[in-house]
């Protein structure tokens, strides 16, 4: 399938040519990372483009800005409609990634950001396939620790927060891994740079709590509901690093990563070194949901056309 290049973006309430969506060099977000973002996927099933959990993403979008007193000037409905109409404007008929974001504009070098600071809102989209190999990836535990709520709010999807993720990713690539796993400030498992993490051990599915600096991921939340409906027990608790080496299965979840099996950690095989049975089961269910083939979860899907 040919890739597409979106001709249009949405900027402060208007559809503009993508190349015309520009900001001044004194934009506050460029200097200090005062930007809020979300990532959504649109799934093309040969008949329609399905946006996964649109309303839930927009709710988190607004809440992240509230933490930093950064104002989103548009209503949730206006943002949702803008996303849908941008897909139509670009005539998207293949799977894509959608990135809405808002940020502090020209505000000098003032660090006292308030609700009255000028903000801009934009939405862009682009062609997007698999982020990782769906047969499994190799991960390594990072020497960098995940940001902690005692210094930086880890539940906000802020642009500046992801400098932490960049350091961990760079280290993973240098060491020959596909992805890294970050520990929290106590040395317990937190998450990957852009994904939540789950382990299967003793027939229970375990994932770190938000107190371990794990983002309240929407895919994470979806997987918890799916696996519970399939009869598995899900436990949210602290996971010591050593448990990663004892797990029967490990997988990552995220909008970009979807459901990604981890087949080795720090050079040690996870299970038999292949994607596990439970991980493949969850991945298959998730794929059917996003393609609009599972009526039980139809409320998670917003059709564009």
Known catalytic residues are 157
Alpha-carbon torsion angle 208, 212, 218, 223, nearest 10: 0
Residue 301 in contact with residue 51, Cβ under 8 Å?
A: yes
User: How far, in Å, are 156, 212, 235 from residue 263 at the CA level?
Assistant: 29, 23, 21
Q: Which residues contact 299 (CB under 8 A, 6 or more apart)?
A: none
Outline where the chain has alpha helix (H): 28-32, 54-67, 76-89, 162-174, 218-229, 241-246, 277-290
> CA 195 to CA 198: how far, in whole Å?
10
Computed over its alpha carbons, how large is the radius of gyration of the chain? 19
Structure tokens that stand for 60 in this block: 């988190």
β-bridge pairing 179-183 and 35-37: unpaired
Q: 219: closest CA among 269, 254, 185, 260?
A: 254
């Amino acid at each position: 399938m040919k890739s597409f290049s979106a001709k249009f973006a949405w900027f402060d309430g208007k559809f503009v040519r993508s190349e015309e969506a520009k900001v001044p060099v004194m934009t506050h977000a460029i200097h200090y990372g005062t930007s809020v973002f979300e990532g959504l996927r649109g799934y093309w099933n040969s008949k329609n483009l399905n946006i996964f959990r649109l309303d839930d993403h927009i709710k988190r979008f607004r809440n992240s800005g509230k933490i930093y007193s950064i104002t989103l000037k548009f209503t949730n409905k206006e943002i949702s409609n803008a996303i849908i109409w941008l897909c139509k404007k670009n005539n998207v008929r293949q799977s894509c990634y959608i990135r809405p974001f808002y940020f502090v504009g020209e505000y000098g070098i003032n660090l006292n950001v308030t609700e009255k600071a000028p903000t801009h809102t934009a939405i862009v989209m682009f062609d997007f396939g698999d982020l990782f190999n769906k047969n499994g990836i190799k991960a390594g535990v990072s020497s960098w620790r995940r940001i902690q709520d005692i210094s930086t709010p880890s539940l906000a999807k802020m642009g500046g927060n992801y400098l932490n993720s960049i350091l961990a990713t760079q280290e993973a690539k240098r060491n020959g891994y596909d992805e890294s796993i970050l520990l929290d400030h106590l040395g317990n498992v937190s998450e990957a740079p852009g994904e939540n993490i789950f382990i299967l051990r003793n027939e229970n599915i375990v994932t770190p709590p938000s107190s371990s600096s794990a983002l309240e991921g929407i895919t994470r939340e979806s997987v918890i509901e799916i696996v519970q409906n399939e009869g598995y027990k899900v436990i949210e608790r602290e996971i010591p690093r050593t448990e990663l080496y004892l797990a029967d299965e490990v997988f990552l979840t995220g909008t970009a990563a979807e459901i990604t099996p981890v087949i080795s950690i720090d050079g040690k095989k996870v299970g038999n070194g292949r994607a596990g049975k439970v991980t493949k089961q969850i991945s298959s269910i998730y794929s059917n949901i996003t393609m609009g083939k599972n009526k039980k979860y139809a409320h998670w899907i917003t059709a564009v056309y």
